[in-house]
């Protein structure tokens, strides 16, 4: 069986990105320097085999393409999860997400990481902050 193992993204400030993803519920795994001199941090969500690899290259300028797809996390209670993120200083979008949820629309929201990568939040699955 073929397995989907990880996603790698380039970041401009590893510690800022690690702190952001920690607030989303990711745990910081191994941190190391690659043979090419890149700083790597492996971010895990408890109960998931797939991980996020944050890569910092001192000689590389991070530019997130405007049409880049996003990553997504599933949570059992999106309102509680988003409330926690807002208390941690993370902006949730689109504006008025609470009102949309109470109106019966699909429970989905987004956050943007420090480099501009989007993370979609859907109500389902296990809560990484539990």
pLDDT, tens only, 78-107: 999 999 999 999 999 988 887 877 766 678
Domain extent at residue 46 = 6-58+68-123
| CATH number reported for the structural domain that contains residue 79 in this entry | 3.10.180.10
Q: Is residue 1 part of a domain?
A: no
Q: Provide the domain count of the chain.
A: 1
Angle at 30 between CA 26 and CA 65, to 5 degrees: 60
Q: What is the pLDDT of residue 18?
A: 99
| Residue 128 covered by a domain | no
Q: What is the pLDDT of residue 40?
A: 98
Query: Does 130 fall in a domain?
Result: no
30 located within any domain? yes
pLDDT at 104: 67
Q: For residues 26, 115, 105 and 23, what is the CA-based torsion angle, rounded to 10 degrees?
A: 30
Q: Does the residue 53 lie in any domain?
A: yes
Question: Which residue positions in the chain have pLDDT lower than 70?
Answer: 103-105, 125-130
Q: What is the pLDDT of residue 121?
A: 95
């Amino acid at each position: 069986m073929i397995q989907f193992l990880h996603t790698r993204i380039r970041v401009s400030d590893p510690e800022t990105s690690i702190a952001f993803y920690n607030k989303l519920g990711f745990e910081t795994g191994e941190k190391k320097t690659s043979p090419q001199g890149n700083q790597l941090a492996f971010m895990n969500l408890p109960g998931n085999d797939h991980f996020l690899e944050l890569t910092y290259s001192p000689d590389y300028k991070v530019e997130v393409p405007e049409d880049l797809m996003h990553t997504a996390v599933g949570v059992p209670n999106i309102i509680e999860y988003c409330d926690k993120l807002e208390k941690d200083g993370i902006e949730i979008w689109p504006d008025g997400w609470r009102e949309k949820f109470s109106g019966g629309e699909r429970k989905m929201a987004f956050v943007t990481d420090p480099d501009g990568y989007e993370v979609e939040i859907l109500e389902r699955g296990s809560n990484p902050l539990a």
